[in-house]
Amino acid sequence: MKITRISVYQVDLPLHEGSYKWASGKSVAVFDSTVVKIETDSGIEGYGEVCPLGPVYLPSYAAGARAGIKEIAPNLIGQDPTELAVLVDNMDRWLKGHPYVKSAIDMACWDILGKAAGLPIAKLLGGTYGDDFALYRAISQLPPKEMAENVKMYKDQGYKKFQLKVGGNPWEDIERIRECAKVLDNSDQLVADANCGWLMHDAVKVANGVRDVNVYIEQPCTSYEECLSIRRRTTLPFVLDECIDGLGILLRGFQDHAMDVVNIKISKFGGLTRARQARDLCVSLGIVMTIEDTWGGDVITAAISHLAHSTPEEFLFSATDFNSYVTKSIADGAPQRINGRMAAPTSPGLGVTPIWEALGAPVMVCDGSE
Ligand code: MG
């Protein structure tokens, strides 16, 4: 099988809540997402998506994803999309770094592989555990009482796992955590995610200030070393996210006892091929995971569902349903949240079909002719 054409679409995804706010005053109102369609000489086509959380979260941005795909697309024409390891190696030869650029392409090729095999991606990733899996809800940064009201609202919708966006003023963050914990039961899961937003002296104040609360501390500071310092000064369970971007740092974190949980964001690892490697390594090492991405719509939510549903239940800390945060549906067949839980589609590949009217005309098409 050979790739014959690559089309790229840009789509705006507004949020139901109007905006999403996290550490250090950062916010996004409309997500700029990129969808890729890969066509082949067999008639099978595959879809992928990448959606950075704005330009100031990780070293990635929406226009950069499209520029990067344009850069490597001519090389992809004629390649076999079902040979994922070869394809991913080749992409690294054509463009150094920029894993998020390669994520949507890798995802679309997994979609093609699944359709060629007649199997859902979750089966190709090892098979599914249980009927469905639990989701977390990210709670945008607001004054403490408003965040607690939102936690209560989403708890009433069936969620049992909550990720508070903190990383602001440490005394207000302590209040945020305490107010939100009040509306939860012991069986609920509460994470205070600073998204790199604290310096070490503030992170220590918060960790000490909530040491009696049933809460996880997530990525308090920017660097791995700063986070490790806070980890060594708290007894609370600890999550690493932004600084975990490959197998090397995962192994270092394991050796240093730097975390109890890690977040695997598909695009940060460069797609499902590399995220799956990290997932399997975590299972072997005994590290629990949240399976997610930087953001996205229906296509990314489907990809997350396949990786999450094929992760052993005891290792799946939580996962996300980004398509329920945004007002726009871009694909039919995407998994939908039911009572705070979700299941991977059972049809071949990702199991989604783009809604072409929602995506509009492609912003870039490459068939190797120019
Ligand atoms: Mg996080």
Q: How far apart are CA 150 and CA 146, in angstroms?
A: 6
Please tell me the distance between residue 193's alpha carbon and the centre of ligand 1 in angstroms: 6
Q: Which of 96, 165, 182, 328 is catalytic?
A: 165
Question: What is the 8-class DSSP label of residue 195?
Answer: T
Neighbours of ion ligand 1 (CB under 5 A): 193, 241
User: Can you tell me the distance from the alpha carbon of 175 to that of 187, in angstroms, rounded to the nearest whole number?
Assistant: 21
CATH number of 123-342: 3.20.20.120
pLDDT under 50 in the chain at which residues?
none
Mind listing the pLDDT tens digit for each residue in 187-239? 999 999 999 999 999 999 999 999 999 999 999 999 999 999 999 999 999 99
Q: Measured in angstroms, how far is the CA atom of residue 102 from the centroid of ligand 1?
A: 21
The domain defined by 3-118+355-366 folds into: Enolase-like; domain 1 (3.30.390)
Contact, 245 vs 271, CB < 8 A? no
Catalytic residue among 102, 123, 160, 265: 265
Per-domain boundaries in the chain: 3-118+355-366, 123-342
Q: Measured in angstroms, how far is the CA atom of residue 254 from the centroid of ligand 1?
A: 18
Indicate the pTM of the whole model. Answer: 0.97
Q: What is the pLDDT of residue 256?
A: 98
The answer to whether the beta carbons of residues 13 and 51 sit under 8 Å apart is yes
Check for a shared fold between 3-118+355-366 and 123-342.
Answer: no
pLDDT computed for residue 370 by the predictor: 66
What is the CB neighbour count within 10 angstroms for residue 20?
21
Cα(109) to centroid(ligand 1), Å:
27
Ligand 1 centroid to residue 53 C-alpha, Å: 11
Q: What's the gap in Å between 192 CA and the centre of ligand 1? A: 9
Question: Is 268 a catalytic site residue?
Answer: no
165 is catalytic: yes
pLDDT of the residue at 368: 85
